[in-house]
């Protein structure tokens, strides 16, 4: 930062002064609910000048919600915010901007057909258009140089890479003059090398007198790259600590709370290959080739884990396996059914391929329909509940009742209740109840513990293990390496659209990690 505005707090020299200085931004007693769901429960958080403050927690712990409140996107139900000791009211993003608070969201807020300059200009109206366009180019170049970024300012951002788009987002915040900079899970979508570059840039920002909030679920990132760590769980702050004062196991306990120790149990009987994937290639609907060469076998009675950084083709692989995305080349063979490469999605389901997608509210549940309808749909399709001319509602409902009980789906007040009202864990259990109802021979589970608390995720894992134990071939794709290590009998690593390495459990974590981030 070249210009640091005058402040009335102690440390005007710009250097980090972490123990002594007063916080420059304080949030206290922040509470926020969405309907019945309490996202933030009386949260306190503060930020000092020149520090990198990690906000650590699992998915759904309330980190993003808290930051959205300070960025003006959410209105808190209760609570106060002080900036430099003054109470402030943040009614919208522009108030946040006036207070020099800037946030880089997990999903970039970029207008894709616009160039970087145009995107950044959007937040800075006024003055002659041409002049401000040129002024903006200069400002961007200046800020970029300061933290070692380079970005093409005049290409449509749609044609930039994810890392470049992120740089545009960060520059946007800097050009707006922010010195409170919030980065929401910035490294999640980056390669290792890009992530390292980013973390270095973040440090430079702090050294220049800015305050940075690094929202993350990654332990080592928080430990190695922050000055203070605040841990959140279930909408509450667990504690704020200094990295030197905690050990990773302690931090883990703070993040997950009660430790439900799941112990790996390996498969007892791995049988014949149930599904064979050979030289698979596929392109997204926009034409980009995302699956470049995937080969693997999954045997009956084993869990085949596919590890990898998100966005390396896992989502598309799931779509190809379930028949939603056509292959460009390669083959899929199902035991006893032969080549199913060109079978439709409904045919594959009838062959006993079940799927638990990562985005269950979009791909596994119709939120506006009842719990009972959502459970019964697969049975309706295979003719279990009445004929084409008449749906047997009574049979459907008693089956739903039985499944809700068996899979411990809680929060079902009535069978006609809309599925959207179920919490994440219970929605996932409902999906599993449906997908397992046909005794599938192949189960594809994509990040099945996403957004779930420890207890629910243990329940989900047990269901996967029991499916394996009764002889199903289970494919588990997850970005959470712990989940993969815990459950898998064999592990494939997916990187840039290919399975680049395979390991037998118990596998070496470092070797897997290396394969995940390695380049070609």
- Are 181 and 205 within 8 A, CB to CB? yes
Nearer to other proteins, 99 or 467 (CB): 99
Nearer to other proteins, 247 or 387 (CB): 387
CB count in 10 Å sphere of residue 161: 10
CB count in 10 Å sphere of residue 328: 13
Q: Which of 297, 345, 284 is nearest to 475 (CA)?
A: 297
- What is the distance between the terminal CA atoms of the chain, rounded to a whole angstrom? 37
- Are 503 and 490 within 8 A, CB to CB? yes
Select from 34-42, 294-302, 308-316, 473-481 the region that touches other proteins (CB under 8 A). Answer: 34-42
Nearer to other proteins, 172 or 465 (CB): 172
By the rule CB under 8 A, 387 interacts with other proteins: yes
Select from 187-195, 301-309, 373-381, 502-510 the region that touches other proteins (CB under 8 A). Answer: 373-381
Nearer to other proteins, 78 or 455 (CB): 78
Nearer to other proteins, 130 or 258 (CB): 130
- Are 81 and 87 within 8 A, CB to CB? yes
Cβ at position 83, least distance to other proteins in Å: 7
CA–chain centroid gap for 35, Å, is 23
For residue 361, the surrounding DSSP H or E stretch is: helix 360-363
Under DSSP, is residue 47 helix (H, G, I), strand (E, B) or coil? strand
CA–chain centroid gap for 111, Å, is 22
By the rule CB under 8 A, 361 interacts with other proteins: yes
Can you tell me which residue has the tokens 């192949």?
A: 442
The token duo for 467 is: 């499916």
- Are 110 and 168 within 8 A, CB to CB? yes
Annotate each residue in 95-134 with x if it binds other proteins (CB under 8 A) or - if it does not, as one string.
x-xxxx--x-x--xxxxxxx---xx-xxx-xx--xx-x--
By the rule CB under 8 A, 490 interacts with other proteins: no
CB count in 10 Å sphere of residue 6: 6
The token duo for 516 is: 């995940």
Cβ at position 373, least distance to other proteins in Å: 7
* Binder of other proteins out of 12, 34, 259, 511 (CB under 8 A): 34
By the rule CB under 8 A, 402 interacts with other proteins: no
By the rule CB under 8 A, 3 interacts with other proteins: no
Under DSSP, is residue 230 helix (H, G, I), strand (E, B) or coil? strand
By the rule CB under 8 A, 322 interacts with other proteins: yes
* Binder of other proteins out of 10, 12, 13, 94 (CB under 8 A): 94
* Binder of other proteins out of 26, 42, 59, 84 (CB under 8 A): 84
Cβ at position 6, least distance to other proteins in Å: 7
By the rule CB under 8 A, 384 interacts with other proteins: no
Q: Which of 348, 49, 367 is nearest to 210 (CA)?
A: 49
Nearer to other proteins, 263 or 362 (CB): 362
DSSP code for 412:
-
Select from 139-147, 262-270, 378-386, 442-450 the region that touches other proteins (CB under 8 A). Answer: 378-386
Nearer to other proteins, 75 or 511 (CB): 75
For residue 397, the surrounding DSSP H or E stretch is: helix 393-406
* Binder of other proteins out of 10, 12, 13, 37 (CB under 8 A): 37
- Are 155 and 116 within 8 A, CB to CB? yes
By the rule CB under 8 A, 8 interacts with other proteins: yes
* Binder of other proteins out of 92, 148, 248, 264 (CB under 8 A): 92
Nearer to other proteins, 8 or 328 (CB): 8
Q: Which of residues 208-267 bind other proteins (CB under 8 A)?
A: none
Select from 50-58, 86-94, 298-306, 491-499 the region that touches other proteins (CB under 8 A). Answer: 86-94
HSE of 46, CA atoms in CB hemisphere, 13 A: 16
Cβ at position 246, least distance to other proteins in Å: 32
By the rule CB under 8 A, 355 interacts with other proteins: yes
Q: Which of residues 409-428 bind other proteins (CB under 8 A)?
A: 417-418, 420-421
Q: Which of residues 151-210 bind other proteins (CB under 8 A)?
A: none
Q: Which of 181, 168, 166 is nearest to 106 (CA)?
A: 166
Annotate each residue in 58-77 with x if it binds other proteins (CB under 8 A) or - if it does not, as one string.
-------------x-xxxxx
Cβ at position 496, least distance to other proteins in Å: 25
Size of the site for other proteins (CB under 8 A): 84
* Binder of other proteins out of 260, 272, 366, 402 (CB under 8 A): 366
Q: Which of 150, 151, 146 is nearest to 116 (CA)?
A: 151
* Binder of other proteins out of 14, 93, 310, 471 (CB under 8 A): 93
Nearer to other proteins, 98 or 150 (CB): 98
For residue 104, the surrounding DSSP H or E stretch is: strand 101-104
How far apart, in whole angstroms, are the C-alpha atoms of residue 458 and residue 260? 8
- Are 488 and 445 within 8 A, CB to CB? no
Q: In a 10 Å sphere around its CB, with 0-12 CB exposed, 13-18 middle and 19+ buried, how is residue 288 labelled?
A: exposed
Cβ at position 269, least distance to other proteins in Å: 29
CB count in 10 Å sphere of residue 500: 17
Nearer to other proteins, 39 or 484 (CB): 39
How far apart, in whole angstroms, are the C-alpha atoms of residue 323 and residue 326? 7
How far apart, in whole angstroms, are the C-alpha atoms of residue 55 and residue 46? 11
* Binder of other proteins out of 18, 38, 391, 454 (CB under 8 A): 391
Nearer to other proteins, 203 or 363 (CB): 363
């Amino acid at each position: 930062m070249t210009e640091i505005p005058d402040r009335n707090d102690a440390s005007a020299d710009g250097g980090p002064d972490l123990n002594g200085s007063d916080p420059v931004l304080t949030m206290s007693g922040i509470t926020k609910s969405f309907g019945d769901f309490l996202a933030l429960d009386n949260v306190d958080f503060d930020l000092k000048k020149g520090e990198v403050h990690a906000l650590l927690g699992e998915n759904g712990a309330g980190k993003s919600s808290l930051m959205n409140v300070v960025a003006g996107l959410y209105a808190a139900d209760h609570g106060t915010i002080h900036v430099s000791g003054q109470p402030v009211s943040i009614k919208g993003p522009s108030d946040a901007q006036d207070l020099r608070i800037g946030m880089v969201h997990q999903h970039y807020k970029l207008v894709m057909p616009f160039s970087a300059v145009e995107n950044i200009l959007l937040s800075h109206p006024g003055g002659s258009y041409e002049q401000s366009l040129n002024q903006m180019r200069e400002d961007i170049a200046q800020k970029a140089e300061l933290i070692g970024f380079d970005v093409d300012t005049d290409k449509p951002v749609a044609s930039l890479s994810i890392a470049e788009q992120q740089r545009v987002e960060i520059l946007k915040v800097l050009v707006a003059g922010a010195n409170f900079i919030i980065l929401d899970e910035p490294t999640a979508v980056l390669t290792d090398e890009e992530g390292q570059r980013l973390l270095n840039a973040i440090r430079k920002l702090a050294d220049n007198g800015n305050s940075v909030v690094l929202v993350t679920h990654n332990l080592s990132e928080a430990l190695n790259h922050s000055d203070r760590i605040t841990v959140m769980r279930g909408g509450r702050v667990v504690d704020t600590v200094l990295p030197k004062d905690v050990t990773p196991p302690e931090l883990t306990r703070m993040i997950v709370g009660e430790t439900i120790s799941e112990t790996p149990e390996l498969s007892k009987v791995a049988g014949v290959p149930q599904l064979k994937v050979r030289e698979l290639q596929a392109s997204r609907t926009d034409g980009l080739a995302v699956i470049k060469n995937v080969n693997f076998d999954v045997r009956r009675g084993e869990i085949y884990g596919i590890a990898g950084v998100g966005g390396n083709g896992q989502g598309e692989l799931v779509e190809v396996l379930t028949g939603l995305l056509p292959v460009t080349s390669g083959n899929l063979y199902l035991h006893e059914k032969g080549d199913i490469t060109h079978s439709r999605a409904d045919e594959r389901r009838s062959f006993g391929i079940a799927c638990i997608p990562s985005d269950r509210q979009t791909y596994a549940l119709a939120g506006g329909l009842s719990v009972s309808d959502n459970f019964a749909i697969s049975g309706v399709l295979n003719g279990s509940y009445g004929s084409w001319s008449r749906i047997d509602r009574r049979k459907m409902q008693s089956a739903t009742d039985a499944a809700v009980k068996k899979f411990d789906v809680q929060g079902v007040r009535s069978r006609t209740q809309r599925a959207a009202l179920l919490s994440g864990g219970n929605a996932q259990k409902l999906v599993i109840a449906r997908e397992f109802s046909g005794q599938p021979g192949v189960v594809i589970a994509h990040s099945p513990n996403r957004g779930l608390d420890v207890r629910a995720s243990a329940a989900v894992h047990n269901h996967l293990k029991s499916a394996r134990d009764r002889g199903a071939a289970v494919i588990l794709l997850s970005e959470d390496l712990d989940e993969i290590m815990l459950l898998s009998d064999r592990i494939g690593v997916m990187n840039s659209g290919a399975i680049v390495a395979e390991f037998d459990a118990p596998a070496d974590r470092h070797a897997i990690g290396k394969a995940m981030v390695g380049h070609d």
